[in-house]
């Protein structure tokens, strides 16, 4: 199985060209898998290409549920959050891509890897070696011998299973995955750089070439995206129409200010300043910092917490509660918000995404007083202050996931 890795500066069209390479290979009768972190152009899968979108959040949840949360349930006094409340560490994206590569079937003829921007791609190539290095530092021969003795004692029942055993159980699978990945081997992985023929791209691709060489890789070629040699008039008309349509969409995000593209890359202070006739809006004078979590508002039967999520869609939003945190997942990222003392003594009663898909989209979370944590007199006062029941928050999307709440 061979791998074709494509990378380039942001905006160079790496994902599009990776999809094109995968389609061409599939039409030649090869069994092709395209691994990417981005949405692929329409028609890619229809050409017979198996598309694997490496989603860091989903990959982390699957790994946590299988390798951590499940085994941890057998360890006394070890309480861990559910997979839906785990916040990924920086670098989880590259780990997610490695995991996706490890799941590719051995009978695949070609893996086309859309490695993303240059820093992410060089980090991805370096990651297997870095993981091996850390395993060597942590798991020395002496430690491995002791670990084998401990594992045997746990299986014999003479030692109680602990948190360290969870990490030891994951090591063989990780080492097997690293053995299957050959991203640093030019005989197994061919690297193509993608870029526009502009001076900044030349500098960036040279730096990437040096970084790849550190890990034993080298590019086999550069895919240069340039203006067509013929028919510039037709090209310009089509490009202008596409830009006008895109400008209408951008205007729905924030006010648009036109910046004319220079025929050549600007060099020098004067050329840079000429790109912006006037200075864009700057933030006002520094004042009190905004609270990390918006303040709840009082509604009938409890309180409502509103979190702005512009353009979010219902299918991409999840809400969970873990201990004193509210965990929000949207657009492939996750945040854990510590609730204020009032809401910590409440239960989540509803979670609604209002005006989905619009600039005004917002997550409205309803809370009600927890009878087990409120004094009877205060609970009675809360009940008298408003009607019983869940806070009103528009159309219901279903109850929030309150697993893990104590």
Residue range 41-66, pLDDT digits in tens: 888 998 899 999 988 777 777 777 77
Tokens of 311: 């353009």
pLDDT at position 269 is: 81
Backbone angles phi, psi at 261, to 5 degrees: -80, 130
Q: What is the pLDDT of residue 224?
A: 85
> Which carries the bigger pLDDT value, residue 11 or residue 280?
11
Answer for the pair 32, 137: CB distance below 8 angstroms, yes or no: no
* Confidence class for position 396, pLDDT limits 50, 70, 90: very low
- Residue 33 or residue 202, greater confidence: 33
Least confident of 95-99, 139-143, 302-306: 139-143
Portions of the chain given CATH number 2.60.40.790: 297-385
- Residue 406: pLDDT band (50, 70, 90) is very low
Q: Encode 112-148: b = buried (16+ Cβ within 10 Å), e = exposed.
A: bbbbbbbebbbbbbbbbbebeeeeeeebeeeeeeebe
Following CA atoms 363, 368, 373, 375 in sequence, which dihedral angle do they give, to the nearest 10 degrees? Answer: 140
> For 3-17, 59-73, 212-226, which range has the lowest pLDDT when averaged over its residues?
59-73
pLDDT at 391 over 60: no
Mean pLDDT to the nearest integer, 178-182: 83
Question: What pLDDT was estimated at residue 367?
Answer: 95
Residue 133 has pLDDT above 50, yes or no: yes
Asked whether 190 and 4 are in contact (CB, 8 A), the reply is yes
Report the first-to-last Cα separation within the chain, whole angstroms. Answer: 49
**Farthest-apart Cα atoms in the chain, separation:** 82
Averaged confidence pLDDT in the chain: 81
Would you state the pLDDT for residue 54? Answer: 87
- Mean pLDDT lowest among 6-15, 112-121, 159-168, 352-361: 159-168
Between residues 206 and 161, which one has the greater pLDDT? 206
| Mean of pLDDT values over 153-165 | 65
Band (399; pLDDT cuts 50, 70, 90):
very low
pLDDT for residue 385: 53
Q: Read off the pLDDT of each residue in 208-237 and give the average, rounded to a whole number.
A: 84
Residue partners of 1: CB distance under 8 A and separation at least 6 = 104, 106, 108, 109, 110, 111, 188
Q: What topology does CATH give the domain 297-385?
A: Immunoglobulin-like (2.60.40)
Written as six digits, the tokens of 37 are 């972190």
Strands (E), 311-391: 317-322, 325-330, 333-338, 346-354, 362-369
Query: What's the confidence (pLDDT) of residue 404?
Result: 43
| Residue 153 in this model has a pLDDT that exceeds 80 | no
* Portions of the chain given CATH number 3.40.50.300: 2-224
**% of the chain beyond a pLDDT of 90:** 28
Query: 222 - beta bridge partners?
Result: 193
- Say which CATH topology domain 2-224 has: Rossmann fold (3.40.50)
**Residue found by looking up tokens 């509604």 in the block:** 299
Confidence at 390, pLDDT banded by 50, 70, 90: very low
């Amino acid at each position: 199985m061979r791998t074709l890795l494509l990378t380039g500066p942001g905006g160079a069209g790496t994902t599009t060209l990776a999809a094109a390479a995968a389609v061409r290979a599939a039409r030649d009768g090869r069994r092709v898998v395209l691994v990417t972190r981005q949405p692929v152009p329409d028609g890619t899968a229809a050409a017979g290409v198996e598309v694997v979108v490496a989603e860091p959040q989903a990959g982390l949840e699957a790994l946590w549920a299988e390798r951590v949360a499940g085994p941890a349930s057998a360890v006394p006094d070890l309480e861990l959050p559910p997979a839906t409340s785990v916040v990924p560490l920086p670098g989880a994206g590259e780990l997610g891509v490695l995991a996706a590569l490890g799941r590719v079937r051995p009978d695949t003829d070609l893996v086309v890897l859309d490695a993303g921007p240059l820093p992410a791609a060089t980090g991805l190539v370096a990651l297997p070696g870095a993981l091996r290095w850390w395993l060597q530092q942590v798991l020395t021969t002496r430690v491995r011998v002791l670990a084998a003795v401990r594992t045997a004692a746990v299986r014999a029942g003479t030692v109680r299973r602990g948190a360290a055993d969870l990490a030891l159980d994951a090591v063989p699978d990780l080492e097997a995955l690293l053995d299957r990945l050959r991203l640093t081997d030019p005989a197994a992985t061919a690297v193509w750089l993608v870029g526009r023929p502009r001076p900044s791209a030349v500098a960036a691709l040279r730096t990437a070439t040096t970084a790849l060489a550190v890990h034993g890789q080298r590019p086999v070629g550069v895919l240069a995206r340039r203006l067509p040699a013929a028919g510039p008039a037709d090209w310009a008309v089509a490009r202008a129409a596409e830009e006008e349509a895109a400008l209408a969409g951008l205007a729905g995000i924030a006010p648009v200010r036109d910046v004319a593209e220079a025929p050549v890359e600007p060099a020098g202070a004067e050329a840079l300043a000429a790109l912006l006739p006037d200075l864009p809006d700057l933030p006002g004078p520094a004042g009190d910092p905004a609270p990390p979590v918006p303040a709840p508002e009082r509604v009938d039967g409890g309180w409502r917490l509103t979190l702005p999520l512009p353009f979010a869609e219902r299918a991409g939003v999840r809400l969970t509660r873990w201990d004193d945190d509210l965990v929000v997942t949207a657009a492939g990222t996750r945040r854990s918000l510590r609730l204020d003392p009032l809401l910590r003594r409440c239960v989540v009663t509803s979670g609604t995404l209002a005006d989905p898909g619009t600039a005004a989209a917002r997550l409205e979370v309803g809370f009600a007083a927890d009878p087990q944590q409120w004094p009877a007199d205060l609970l009675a006062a809360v009940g008298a202050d408003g009607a019983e029941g869940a806070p009103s928050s528009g159309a219901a999307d279903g109850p929030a996931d309150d697993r893990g709440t104590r």
